[in-house]
A and B are shown apart, each in its own frame.
Chain A
Amino acid sequence: MRNLNFGYGISRPRVINLDNNDLRKSNAIIAEMPELQACIGCGSCTASCTAGNLTDFNFRRLHTAVRRGEYQGAYEEINKCMLCGKCRLVCPRGINTRELIMLIKRKLGDF
């Protein structure tokens, strides 16, 4: 029964809707770390990421989505990070990415 396949399913909307997203946490993250807005999406953090080379963890995409108020699954995802800090060494905008991971964890995990 559980494995019955009707050949169709229900897709969740993939659209980022900035009218409905609750941007309060995202705004709080940016307020604490304004330099995050200076990200130019170069992907150096993802390219150098220890976790990203072993799993599908993509740090650039994750923090971009968080800035847009897309928090679902982000906390669980970010736990893949091993806090090695390599991303911070390469960011051309000098963003303290390791600190950013802690900040996102704090804001999204509410601890």
Chain B
Amino acid sequence: MAKRVVIVGGGAAGMQTALELKSRGIEPIIIERDMDLGGKVRDWHKLFPSFTPASDVLQPIIDKVRSSRIRCLLGQEVKTFAEDGVILRSEEHVPADAVVIATGFSLFDAHRKQEYGYGLYHNVITSVDLERMMNNGRVMLADGTEPRRIAILHCVGSRDEKVCQKHCSKVCCITGVKQAIELKQMFPTADVFNFYMDIRMFGPGYEELYREAQQRYNIHFVRGRISEAAQTINDRIQIKAEDTLTGRPLRMSVDMLVLLVGMSANRDNEALAAASNLSLAPNGYFQTKDSFLGAVQSERPGIFYAGAATAPKSLADTLAEASMTASAVERYLRDKYNNR
């Protein structure tokens, strides 16, 4: 009998896990809440650190899922877990031999950091808004003009107890470096300032890109967190920070403020954890069985994880993890059915 695995989530993690399972002769079924596959990466314009168009990575995966005739239940959500599969909100029972949770993350809602004026002032945007603007072909201020001075703020909704987000979102530092370079390429005469608490360049080529941003693109990195933003009388944004490397307060006005919003645990994790009897880590992400040898396993046999459901991850990390998850599932199914 062909083993069947339900994959919850049709983003990069879910799709890639499905393809990996399929190539191992296991039948995956993807359950996706949206009406389309692709998840968060769909909004992305280019990927760090290589500036590869996001669609160059995502589209071939989507195409392959379609051409391999992997069953996708779109616009469907899992309500609860049964002994032998999952039950959807539509009450449909989908039988399965194992389940992979690939539900990803939620974006931090920048409105919650009211002091930065997102949704209040023109030209305070998030990193995701900027990607969408780039996807739409034009980045500009609310009045249609070009920005001459831009500030990019790191750690918005990350490493911040005030909004109950203690963790580091891992990918926003390198995203900030990438976006600063893209802005400089679009507006070569503009001044771009990155305000950071720490710069975390964890991946291959990241530190090199950071240095290029500094030295080749003349992007200013100021170590200090913006404490507040206010709109000026001429529709610019005044920001305040400490320039901690000189030990003095710093003030300036900019035309555009980009907030590097963090990756929060998926809003639905609590409900899903309760329904599946799984536990969450203190930061709200799913708790893996072990940090080293059980990184894609849950505490319950037969339930696995892939991608950013367990922690903030880059797209590269996520795609790599998909094959780890698929081999763990394969091993589990083999043991389960050989022992019978």
Contacts and interface: CB of A to CB of B under 8 A. Distances in A.
A37 B245 contact: no
Interface stretch (B214-222, B258-266, B287-295, B309-317): B214-222
Given A16-B246, A60-B245, A64-B243, A37 B251 contact: no
B250 interface: yes
A16 B248 contact: yes
Nearest to A21: B252
A35 B250 contact: no
Interface in B241-294: 243, 245-253
A48 B173 CA distance: 30
Contacts of B243: 16, 64, 68
Contact of B246 (A34, A38, A64): A64
Nearest to A13: B249
A38 B215 contact: yes
Given A41-B223, A93-B211, A14 B245 contact: no
A34 B251 contact: no
A15 interface: yes
Interface residues of B, number: 20
B211 A38 contact: yes
A35 B251 contact: no
Contacts of A14: 248-249
Contacts of A19: 251-253
A89 to B, nearest CB: 20
A30 B191 CA distance: 13
A65 interface: yes
Contacts of B253: 19
Contacts of A18: 250-252
Interface string A63-79: 01101101000000000
Interface in A33-51: 34-35, 37-41
A34 B218 contact: yes
B246 A65 contact: yes
Interface size class of A (residues with CB under 8 A): 20 to 34
A64 B245 contact: yes
A102 B199 CA distance: 30
A61 interface: yes
Contacts of B247: 61
Interface string B219-250: 11101000000000000000000010111111
A30 B248 contact: no
A16, A30, A35: residue with the most chain B Cβ atoms closer than 10 Å: A16
Given A35-B215, A64-B243, A68-B246, A15 B251 contact: yes
A34 B249 contact: no
Interface in B120-144: none
Contacts of B248: 14-16, 65, 70
A17 B252 contact: yes
A10 B214 CA distance: 38
A70 B246 contact: yes
A68 B223 CA distance: 13
Contact of A37 (B215, B223, B246): B215
Contacts of A61: 245-247
B218 A37 contact: yes
A33 to B, nearest CB: 10
Interface of A: 14-19, 30, 34-35, 37-41, 60-61, 64-65, 67-68, 70, 93
Interface of B: 199, 211, 214-216, 218-221, 223, 243, 245-253
25 contacts: A14-B249, A15-B249, A15-B250, A16-B249, A16-B251, A17-B250, A17-B251, A17-B252, A18-B250, A18-B252, A19-B251, A34-B216, A37-B215, A37-B218, A37-B219, A37-B220, A38-B214, A40-B199, A61-B246, A64-B243, A65-B246, A68-B243, A68-B246, A68-B250, A70-B248
